Amino acid sequence: MYNLIAKIGEGALNLCHETGGLLHLLFMVIKSLFPPRFDPGEFLRNLYKMGVKSVPIIILTAFFTGGIMVIQASVFVKRFGATSLVGWGAGYAVFREVGPILLGLMFSGRVGSNNTAELGTMVVTEQIDGLKALGIDPMQYLIVPRVLSMIIMLFLLTIIGDVIAIVGAALFGILIADVSFAAFWTSFSQNVHVADVVHGLIKAGVFGFIVSLTSCYAGMTVRGGAVGVGRAVNNAVVTAALGIVISDYFLTYSLS
Amino acid sequence: MSIIFKDVHRYFGSKKVLTGVNMSVQPGEKLFVIGTSGVGKSVTIKHIIGLLKPTSGEVSVDGVRVDKVSEKELFTIRRKVAMVFQASALFDSLSLLENVMLPIRKHLKLKDAEVRKKAMALLDEVGMLKHAGLYPSEIGDGMRKRVAIARALSLDPAYVLFDEPTTGLDPVSARRVDSLISQLATERNAGCIIVSHDLVSIFSTATKIAMVYKGIIYKEGPIEDFHSSTDPVIRQFLSGSSSGPMETPGF
Amino acid sequence: MTGKLYEMTANLGGFVTGIFAAALSLFSIAMRTFRGVFRFRGRAQGEVLKQMYLIGNRSLIFVTVTLGALGMVLVFQVCLQINKITGDQSQVGPEFIKGMIHAFVPILTAMMLATRVGAGIAAETGSMVVTEQIDALRMTGVDPVDFILVPRFIASVVMTFVLGVYAMVIVIVAGAFMAHSSFGVNYNVFFVFDKVTGGDLFIGSLKLIVHGGAIPIVAGYCGLTTGRGSEGVGNATTRAVINSSLAVIIIDFIISGVGLLTVQKI
């Protein structure tokens, strides 16, 4: 019994410690943004690295997600004979929920964990101390450019992903679910609104922010050499996934 | 004009690593901080550029209290005191030339072409000019160390700190690093603090030695004092003998 | 010109051989794992139980929170649309339960576990590679796959299934709660299971089992092929997260497609 209480207490203290660390990081990022003081070269480099290099994985994910959604929609629709609803169902689900969440998770896996690994390696090989020793603020040189690029890039990648997912849905609708393209398109274009797309894109922006903050925090607090880096990446993706799902809940509520 | 440690204590949790360090360095001097592994040598010098803050005591650089100033003011001290890290700490994502250019570009208001020229001159000084376009992962430890030294010199520092500069290097590369250190003490009149337990380096390069033992500076003085010392702990360390009164943490 | 062309061809060739080598190596690890499972004699029973604890129990809160939130969100979105069109909420419960069982719970649970378990396995095996523990294992004549991956494989298949069933309960309860509190759907209208067919249960279970097996194999492959140096383990963990998530999505797509054309065909 005593052990259990001690464990709960320890867990609570840990949670407070981590939350405090994240908030402190957030505060430092905001402080570096007003007035904006960050390295423009690093910002552009990260935009390229995080954006362009994630395109293949985002396209692959979105394409199959579209396929899965149209299959699921048609399981439902076939029993009711309402083929005209497939385009609407797939579009609505992809734009508002499944698209942003799955793309956010994949982005966290690709870019977020890579970011944690990179920062963590810099910590254990004393490169962060090296920056400080050269009189360069790691906040302005490393963190702020990364946070900004991740928010911008997940937003833009989600736009690409949305388009690809709909293409995938239409294609697999024809191939597997017996839905003609015309039927898919009519149903899609008549029932899916700009508001649905905007709903998803706002989420994407917030998810990008969450991924950026959790991955930078996990990276900067690495301890214990190469082994510690692996552990930090693990923590980063788990925290990001929790953050994405929980914020999705609140966003869905407040955006509707 | 000097770096001064006054009764510096540093604890990590309940572990008391430094318990009253006193020492000083003037420009042009080569102070070797020596001692067994894990005794707190690196911890000591990281206080000079504010990477660590003392639990109590004073650390000052040219009259400025490093332990008192804010993170922002620290950056002006860090331009004056450069550090060469144990594993060089070159930035993986930048080429060797870009590594040296980075601090110049950040701190000196120079045109791009001038930044490049200055960085090339520094790489030339350490004999790495012909490899300027390579990345840190493509070269060996000795070469990396030389680039790290070039980078440390980029802002014309008054003091340079070296964390075990010859550890892990082959004897030839190690002696090259030693002569680079001597060169910058005499030609640039920089004050050098070198953390080391490489006896060859110590005897060939040092002008002054500070021995860390049991949390304090056990003895500080010119190299001759150590040669002539009869203290059993100092004798044991300098002869590298396994038997003697010295306590080695972790062994 | 020819130099550039030559270089391009060489790069392309290197890329293709790289993919084949990776596929071959992944396949070999998978085969060695399966063989190890059949030869499994219970010597490493303790290790399997420990892994079950690490994969299962330690993911419980994670799965509860993520799947619970997702269940509520999904019901919310569905009810919102239905309100706009027909306003008849009576079908929400049964259809939601059906969709969760054959589609959403397997993929979402597996995605969450790919993140948590996949990254964990890669970080652990990667660390063993860089600290030369894997080489030490080989020196003693033990196949690292047998020693490391087989217990994790067994534990992951079992625990992914168990967690999937648990997640099912969480999602449905959370969904019912949301439908009741925000849209006034009665619990007895929501908890109707007669739309669920044997085909749905089969597809859902099959997905969970295959996902549970794919995650440790892909993650173990990433961990065992960790590069040297300080960034090796981090990179391996990164690759494990992304590759096992992608594997889950593609496997899910294939099983869904085949399922639609066979057992769920009406």
Structure tokens at B29: 């001097």
Whether the upstream peptide bond of residue A35 has omega within 30° of 0, thus cis, is yes
Mean pLDDT of chain A, nearest integer: 89
**B neighbours by CB contacts (3+ pairs under 8 Å):** A
When divided into structural domains, chain B yields a total of: 1
Task: Supply the Cα-derived Rg of chain B in whole angstroms.
Answer: 18
Task: Enumerate residues 222 to 241 of chain C having a beta carbon within 8 A of any beta carbon in chain A.
Answer: 229-238, 241
**By the 8 A CB rule, do C221 and C29 touch?**
yes
**B250 inside domain:** no
The DSSP-derived string for B81-97 is: EEEE-TT----TTS-HH
Strand partners, B84: B162
* pLDDT reported for residue B249: 60
- Pick from A172-181, B14-23, C129-138 the range whose average pLDDT is largest: B14-23
CB contact at 8 A, C143 and C32: yes
Residue B40 has pLDDT above 90, yes or no: no
Q: How far apart are the first and last CA of chain C?
A: 60
- What is the Cα–Cα distance from B17 to C165, expressed in whole angstroms? 53
Collapsing DSSP to helix, strand or coil, A152 comes out as helix
pLDDT tens column, C90-114: 888 888 898 899 888 999 999 999 9
A129 touches chain B (CB under 8 A): yes
Indicate whether B87 pLDDT > 90: no
pLDDT score, position C25: 84
| Paired sense of beta strands B30-34 and B208-213, if any | parallel
**Given CB atoms, is A130 within the 8 Å cutoff of chain B?**
yes
Please compute Rg for chain C using Cα positions.
22
d(CA C15, CA C177): 51
**Is residue C263's pLDDT more than 80?**
no
- Residues from chain A that touch B151, judged by Cβ atoms under 8 A, are 134
* Residue A118 lies in domain: 37-255
Residue C266: pLDDT band by 50, 70, 90 thresholds?
low
- The contacts of residue C265 (CB under 8 Å, 6+ apart) are none
Instruction: Summarize pLDDT for A216-253 with one digit per residue, the tens.
Output: 999 999 988 777 888 898 889 999 999 999 999 999 98
Alpha-carbon A91 to chain mean position? 20
Residue-averaged pLDDT of chain C? 86
Touching subunits for chain C (3+ Cβ pairs under 8 A): A
pLDDT of residue C42: 64
Q: How much is the pLDDT for A71?
A: 84
Share of chain A above pLDDT 90, in %: 41
Whether the per-residue pLDDT at B28 is higher than 90: the answer is no
Domain ranges of chain C: 2-261
Chain C closest-CA separation from residue A186 CA (Å):
17
Mutate to test the interface with C, among A86, A113, A247 (most CBs of C within 10 A): A113
Q: How many CA atoms lie within 13 A of C80 on its CB side?
A: 17
pLDDT in tens, B69-86: 887 788 888 888 999 988
A212 to chain C, closest Cα gap in Å? 15
Domain of B30 in residue numbering reads as: 3-239
Indicate whether B130 belongs to any domain: yes
Give domain status of residue B248, yes or no.
no
Domains contained in chain A, number: 1
**Interface list for C 110-129 with A (CB within 8 A):** 111-112, 115-116, 119-120, 122-124, 126-127
pLDDT-wise least confident of A170-184, A201-215, B107-121, C75-89? C75-89
B50 φ/ψ sector (left φ>0, alpha ψ -120 to 50, else beta) = left
Beta carbons of C253 and A67 less than 8 Å apart: yes
Q: What is the Cα Rg of chain A in Å?
A: 21
State whether A130 and B92 contact (CB < 8 Å).
Answer: no
pLDDT at A218: 94
Residue C78 touches chain A, beta carbons under 8 Å: no
Q: Model confidence over C37-48: pLDDT tens digits?
A: 887 766 667 888
What is the greatest pairwise CA distance in chain B? 59
- DSSP of A62-128, one letter per residue? HHHHHHHHHHHHHHHHHHHT-GGGHHHHHHHHIIIIIHHHHHHHHHIIIIIHHHHHHHHHHHHTTHH
C-contacting residues in A 114-153 (Cβ below 8 Å): 114, 116-118, 120-121, 124-125
Q: What is the pLDDT of residue C217?
A: 94
CB contact under 8 A, C130 and A75: no
In a domain, A179, yes or no: yes
What is the predicted pLDDT for the residue at A10? 86
pLDDT at C207 over 90: yes
**A64 inside 8 A of chain C by CB:** yes
Query: Which residues of chain A from 64 to 103 reach within 8 Å of chain B, CB to CB?
Result: none
Domain containing B129 — which CATH number? 3.40.50.300
Identify all chain A residues contacting C116, using CB atoms and an 8 Å cutoff: 234, 237-238, 241
Residues 163-202 of C with CB under 8 A from A: none
A141: closest CA of chain B, how far (Å): 10
Judge whether A3 lies within some domain: no
Q: What is the mean pLDDT of residues B135-148?
A: 88
Residue A243 belongs to some domain of the structure: yes
In a domain, B57, yes or no: yes
